[in-house]
């Protein structure tokens, strides 16, 4: 039985965490792998959903204010981890790209190691290549055997900046548990489906990335048009209160509902008419896959591989222009949207797993 190690920051609700949860539970269920998960913080509502056979280790760096004491404590932690786990695994992965701890853990645990990328970092850093280089240099990207990105566009952007790494970079999307999503979508919630056209946005509330202000501004115009609609925001973040204030200032409380973080968002997705995503950048949004499975059309900005996979197939790709977002939402309310392709989850997952099995 092969020994695999994955490292991440925590197991709170988010796209990275959702993907990791799905992947680990699938792999452990095959009974082919012994799996260890190292978390910088052993916390998050997804912890309880991890299979009990997955071993969890917490590697929490010291936060001691005294610099000397902090350095000594962290040196001791690193040394202990090296002595216990150096090259003890057949495969290791730093799944939370931004975590320096995850990078260290994955590089130590196995020579067959992988750095997982969940964003187009060129876009994330506003096309500032020196910042991208600085970011990946800190992670010691050149010490990894493989570098995986969840979108083709992210692979292309990385190779443009790091052409010497071309042979180790590959595209591998996130697994999706279609049966589980369909099952969970049947759970009862108090909200009911009615004739009100319902948009849903799922994700962290961070204006720099998610740009939810654009949805709120579109809602002002839609309400002035006297259209019947509502928008569900599932998630929280540092900018939640800013969004709530904008909704109150524009008297939109009757059409925009803040539902907070949901352990199971799928019943709300099921009763919605379409998904809306207005992000400035994404890796590959898990909500795309969730929408495919529940047969919900998508309005999205041009993130990840949206033009190739969404446009005129599963929905519409919009510019970041607020007017374009508003007009597209209005069109969906008035005319609906018919999905033109069928998503085959089994074939989709098999392609991903064949790549992963080869790496393992």
The residues near 175 (Cβ < 8 Å, ≥ 6 apart) are 19, 22, 23, 26, 349, 352, 353
216, 243 in Cβ contact below 8 A?
A: yes
pLDDT of res. 192: 83
264-152-276 Cα angle (round to 5): 40
Q: From 14, 175, 31, select the one nearest 97 (Cα to Cα).
A: 14
Residues 8, 20: Cα–Cα separation, whole Å: 9
pLDDT digits (tens, 9 = 90+) for 162-221: 999 999 999 999 999 999 999 999 999 998 888 999 999 999 999 999 999 999 999 999
The residues near 132 (Cβ < 8 Å, ≥ 6 apart) are 121, 122, 125, 161
What's the token pair of residue 274? Answer: 């379409």
Question: What's CA 286's distance to the chain center, in Å?
Answer: 6
Torsion, Cα 220 223 224 228, to 10 degrees, reads 160
Residues 250, 243: Cα–Cα separation, whole Å: 11
Residue with tokens 């989850």: 345
Residues 103, 42: Cα–Cα separation, whole Å: 17
Query: pLDDT of the chain along its 360 residues, tens only?
Result: 999 999 999 999 888 999 999 999 999 999 999 999 999 999 998 999 999 999 999 999 999 999 999 999 999 999 999 999 999 999 999 999 999 999 999 999 999 999 999 999 999 999 999 999 999 999 999 999 999 999 999 999 999 999 999 999 999 999 999 999 999 999 999 988 889 999 999 999 999 999 999 999 999 999 999 999 999 999 999 999 999 999 999 999 999 999 999 989 999 999 999 999 999 989 889 999 999 999 999 999 999 899 999 999 999 999 989 999 999 999 999 999 999 999 999 999 999 999 999 999
Instruction: Detail the DSSP E strand segments found in the chain.
Output: 2-8, 33-39, 55-58, 91-94, 113-117, 146-149, 169-171, 197-202, 229-234, 256-260, 274-277, 298-301, 315-318
Residue with tokens 């047969």: 295
315, 357 in Cβ contact below 8 A?
A: no
Helices 213-224, 322-335: inter-axial angle, 10-degree rounding:
50
Q: Mapping DSSP to helix (H, G, I), strand (E, B) and coil, where does residue 351 land? A: helix
Q: Could you tell me which residues are beta bridge partners of residue 289? A: none
The residues near 309 (Cβ < 8 Å, ≥ 6 apart) are 288
Residue with tokens 């697994």: 175
Residue with tokens 């965490």: 17
Q: Dump the DSSP string for 223-249.
A: HHTT--EEEEEE---TTHHHHHHHHHH
């Amino acid at each position: 039985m092969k020994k695999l190690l994955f490292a991440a920051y925590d197991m709170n609700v988010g796209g990275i965490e959702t993907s990791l949860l799905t992947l680990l539970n699938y792999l452990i269920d095959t009974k082919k792998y012994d799996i260890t998960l190292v978390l910088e913080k052993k916390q998050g509502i997804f912890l309880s959903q991890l299979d009990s056979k997955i071993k969890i280790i917490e590697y929490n760096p010291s936060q001691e204010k005294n610099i000397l004491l902090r350095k000594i404590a962290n040196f001791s932690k690193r040394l202990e981890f090296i002595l216990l786990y150096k090259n003890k695994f057949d495969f290791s992965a730093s799944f939370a790209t931004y975590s320096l701890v995850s990078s260290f853990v994955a590089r130590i645990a196995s020579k067959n190691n992988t750095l997982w990328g969940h964003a187009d970092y060129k876009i994330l850093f506003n096309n500032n290549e020196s910042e991208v280089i600085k970011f990946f240099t800190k992670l010691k990207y050149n010490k990894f055997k493989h570098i995986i990105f969840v979108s083709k566009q992210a692979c292309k952007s990385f190779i443009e900046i790091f052409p010497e790494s071309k042979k180790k970079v590959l595209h591998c999307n996130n697994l999706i548990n279609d049966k589980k999503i369909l099952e969970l979508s049947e759970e009862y919630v108090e909200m009911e489906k009615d004739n009100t056209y319902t948009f849903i946005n799922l994700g962290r509330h961070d204006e720099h990335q998610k740009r939810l202000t654009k949805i709120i501004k579109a809602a002002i115009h839609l309400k002035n048009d006297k259209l019947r609609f509502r928008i569900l925001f599932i998630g929280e973040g540092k900018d939640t209160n800013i969004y709530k204030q904008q909704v109150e200032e524009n008297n939109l409380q009757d059409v925009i509902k803040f539902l907070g973080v949901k352990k199971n968002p799928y019943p709300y997705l099921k009763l919605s008419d379409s998904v809306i995503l207005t992000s400035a950048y994404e890796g590959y949004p898990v909500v795309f896959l969730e929408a495919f499975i529940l047969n919900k059309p998508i309005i999205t900005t041009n993130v990840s591989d949206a033009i190739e996979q969404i446009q005129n197939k599963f929905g519409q790709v919009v510019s970041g222009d607020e007017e374009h977002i508003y007009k597209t939402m209005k069109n969906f309310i008035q005319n609906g949207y018919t999905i033109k392709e069928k998503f085959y989850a089994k074939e989709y997952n098999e392609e991903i797993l064949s790549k992963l099995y080869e790496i393992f």
